[in-house]
Chain A
């Protein structure tokens, strides 16, 4: 057998391997060419012994190559047939991958819960611990300790729900600030806390009011805390929430439990400060009330105002959600329509 014969033989073997349409046929092909006794290629190799001279070594290498080529082809074809193989067979397993269908079967976080978490995480980076307090409060913690004695005019904006009957001494807290008092009364400064939670005011529901809503309160009490610290902290928080480029301004305000009191505005996201319909022409949106904790409030919390000072701030995640996600009506946040919730 010459080298050309061998090449011819190999080509024939590869064609037959490719043509085998099931494992049985393939086995027949294997036997025909590669059977230990009488296979066309194996037999040829055995006959090498009869050749001598220079050509023998070269022909030997050619036979080894032919054997391994055919062996490899048999193996590949065997795998192909086992996995359902040929192009025609694969085609039967055609799959439409253009459309992901129902999507990942996951649930969604409520936008307000998401914002609360975001605020907690931002403040955690500044060392604020997230704490909770009771939603049912007494007059002492909700008002009196916070510089709002009975009949105080500031109570006008804190129209309060009281419990009936035997529980008449209790009210639904009107802000998260009582947790400031509870924290100060139960420990020693420094304090750095962030307090999310539900609060309630007796406002009739309308597109911007809902009787039970959320607040997030922050409190920092330490030696030498300044208005500058309040400003820096609020700027960090608000830029982290609204974007690093967003303009933030602090202006004078009044709360009975802080002095000085400041209100923080961020530039309107739609007009960037020039005034438009959504900000009622003001160019700014009120986001949060804040101030330096009033010395009397510190004293009420068992903290010596001669040694310590602090700031507090409070914001409404519902309102921020309305602004951020463009909701026309705050009540939609609590309808729990899945079409809304699934956006988060």
Chain B
């Protein structure tokens, strides 16, 4: 919402406060100033020009040549593109040599062979609003040709405000002024609410109002006016409306808009004659729409009305959508001499859902949907009557017609002054607390240590004691509250400081050369990825209301996202892409909350690999997974050859631990790569980390560091080509062979030295006895035991 500093000045003294200081005070107390705009700055050089003659520029279909008079001197020619000029119009004229508020320097230019002496300006060009529709037309009553424009438009500052959603009371100049009066501790000048004198036929003679359900419309007031002249709003009113971004429409509409922005009550004006629609007596009604109700609205759109819509009806025909928009058929127009003013209160839930359903947000609906105080309705009606009769003309008819009941104000809020001070954490006397609340126009009486507080009716957001803490806090200012750290009386949960497994796993992957990614949790609805890792066989959970089908479902695997990041990097010229991601995926569980496993996925793409490179990278990836298990899980980790869709049939394994499978790894199949448009070769793994990896990692134990010398010896065997090293070593470890401290593969070979269909393995064995030095004979015994074990499990033969 925009407010003007001059307008705020109606309600409190602001002349001595710098505009920037006002912005700061508003922002700090909760009414954030998004932007500050200078209005009417630098207008002393622009003059009022009178159009004395108007012709088309030859050879152009949109340019006009205006002869403009500015004071006594000879009229001059100005070329202009706007279509709203007429002879006699008074317009802002920037003559050659003028500098506009935007800094634009105006000169004498030739346009289409015609000399243009400066330019005629739209409202935005002279900094008087955002309107660029046509040339700004100046009111004849105030403007005389040759006057500097600054005489008509005194300087002003306009603030663009972000009003908090609970503060319906701030959606007006009066409301914002109330805030400023409080933070500045200055008296607030209340609006003039004295009733105007009425005359003529009582309104009740022409109109009655009936509310079907007072829970959605607690209060409805109609005022009648007659003898209204067709007259524009006074210049000062138009100027203010313009400054805050409103277009001047007509006298009646401008007054209604002005009252809305002045005190915050949305009003609606009906043409009385049109409401009668041939009949005599008007029966206004407030009711829910029924099947078949339609309304041509003020914006020109003919709408079929949903039964949830609250309507204003005349003789049971829809004539307005309550609190949102009026109908065209009953709208005021230039010929309106008699009108009916609606000042009502509608339930915020009703207005809100209607406005959302229609996709239509208006000045009225944006106020009603925020719990606007019903007590504002009479205020709006009184202000309208005063301004209409004073500034436009016409008379008020006796007696507003009312329906419903003005809700009673809530009782006082009782609060211990000390509790406010102790929750804020700043010492405040009860007197100071009460004074802060009084600055906000709250009525405060004290009873011993307790305060009894009645906020003004418009403050619908203040209901309980804790709301008063906020009011006091923001009025004395949070900069006055000293920053402290809360006392910790109890130690944090033991173990809370243990690094989560995810953090340790990320460190390990980063150390191994993989770079961390974060990909989107939302994937295309129809994602058909050939590689789905642990999500294989599951369907992605669909969103009911996606932004697009591209972001239509929740991922069930990290791999599709990670592989598309590979693709992006490949497209941007990378030849090696190593990435990992940790995150949640989502799996459907019938009839229950979806499961959210924590996964870790790693990929390694070599865009231009050498033939053996991919095997080497797969083994590296495998070692990373093994490292994760060794460092972060409690059980032993095994890799069992497996088949998995999207993976190479002979280069794929599952990761097993504690009798469960935790992940899959392997090289992607050429077919999958082709589908994913990935070049080269890609190895990938996806593991479930929750449940497998433990916080803090595997507990460490110090081994006995025996001092006797080790005996190191080698064992060379041959085994069948497809024998598994993991199985062989697991077998040896299971056997718990005496003295054998460690066994590892030294070399693997195939070819002329071994039989076809077999391969050679050379193991190195390190033996040790804690008590004595081992002999060659001990070594031979051990070697035989290992050989026996290998023979049994992987058909090994001594070479």
Contacts and interface: CB of A to CB of B under 8 A. Distances in A.
Contacts of B518: 110, 112-113, 333-334, 336
B496 A220 contact: no
B541 A292 contact: no
B521 A108 contact: no
Given A126-B485, A227-B424, A229-B486, A338 B515 contact: yes
Top 10 A-B residue pairs of the complex, sorted by shortest distance between their CB atoms:
A226-B425, A228-B425, A252-B30, A232-B483, A260-B470, A252-B474, A129-B496, A254-B164, A107-B510, A336-B565
Interface of B: 27-30, 32, 35-36, 164-167, 348-349, 352-353, 369-371, 422-426, 464, 466-467, 469-470, 473-474, 478-479, 481-493, 496-497, 500, 503, 506, 509-522, 541-547, 551, 554, 565, 568-569, 572, 574, 577-580, 583-584, 586, 588, 590-591, 593-594, 596
B515 A231 contact: no
B361 to A, nearest CB: 11
A136 interface: yes
Contact of A106 (B487, B488, B511, B591): B511
A107 B514 CA distance: 4
A171 B629 CA distance: 34
A130 interface: yes
A103 to B, nearest CB: 11
A98 interface: no
A30 interface: no
Given A107-B515, A167-B541, A254 B506 contact: no
A258 B790 CA distance: 68
A300 interface: no
Given A107-B515, A260-B470, A151 B352 contact: yes
Contacts of B510: 106-109
Contact of A250 (B167, B478, B577, B578): B478
Contacts of A136: 554, 586, 593-594, 596
B398 to A, nearest CB: 39
Given A107-B511, A164-B544, A204-B547, 10 more contacts: A107-B515, A151-B349, A151-B352, A153-B348, A153-B369, A226-B425, A227-B426, A229-B484, A334-B518, A339-B572
A246 B28 CA distance: 18
Nearest to A212: B521
21 contacts: A107-B513, A107-B514, A107-B580, A109-B516, A110-B517, A126-B485, A153-B352, A161-B544, A164-B541, A212-B520, A212-B521, A227-B423, A228-B483, A231-B478, A232-B483, A249-B28, A252-B474, A335-B565, A336-B518, A337-B568, A342-B515
A251 B30 contact: yes
Contacts of A156: 165
Interface string A12-37: 00000000000000000000000000
Contacts of A227: 423-426, 469, 473, 478, 481
A155 to B, nearest CB: 10
B547 A202 contact: yes
Nearest to A214: B518
Given A107-B515, A254-B30, A224 B422 contact: yes
B572 A232 contact: no
B425 A135 contact: no
B593 A225 contact: no
Given A153-B348, A163-B543, A252-B473, A211 B485 contact: no
B513 A105 contact: yes
A332 to B, nearest CB: 11
A336 B563 CA distance: 11
A162 B425 contact: no
Nearest to A124: B497
Nearest to B562: A336
Nearest to A104: B513
Contacts of B583: 198
Contact of A117 (B370, B503, B577): B503
Given A161-B546, A162-B544, A113 B569 contact: no
Contacts of A285: none
Contacts of B486: 220, 222, 224-226, 229, 233
Nearest to B30: A252
A145 B496 CA distance: 26
Interface string A192-224: 100000101010110000011000000010111
A252 B493 contact: no
A113 B546 contact: no
A136 B521 CA distance: 11
B353 A151 contact: yes
Given A134-B596, A156-B165, A254-B164, A228 B426 contact: yes
Contact of B165 (A164, A212, A250, A254): A254
A227 B420 CA distance: 10
B568 A335 contact: yes
A220 B584 CA distance: 26
Nearest to A223: B489
Nearest to B550: A205
Nearest to A162: B544
A10 interface: no
A252 B492 CA distance: 31
A226 B424 contact: yes
A40 B510 CA distance: 66
A309 B165 contact: no
Contacts of B492: 127-129, 192
A320 B550 CA distance: 27
B350 to A, nearest CB: 10
A237 to B, nearest CB: 11
B702 to A, nearest CB: 28
Contacts of B482: 228, 231-232
Contacts of B481: 227-228, 231
Contacts of A233: 483, 485-486
A167 B369 CA distance: 31
A121 B490 CA distance: 19
A281 B470 CA distance: 28
B588 A167 contact: yes
Nearest to B496: A129
A160 to B, nearest CB: 8
Contact of A235 (B348, B483, B512): B483
B496 A202 contact: no
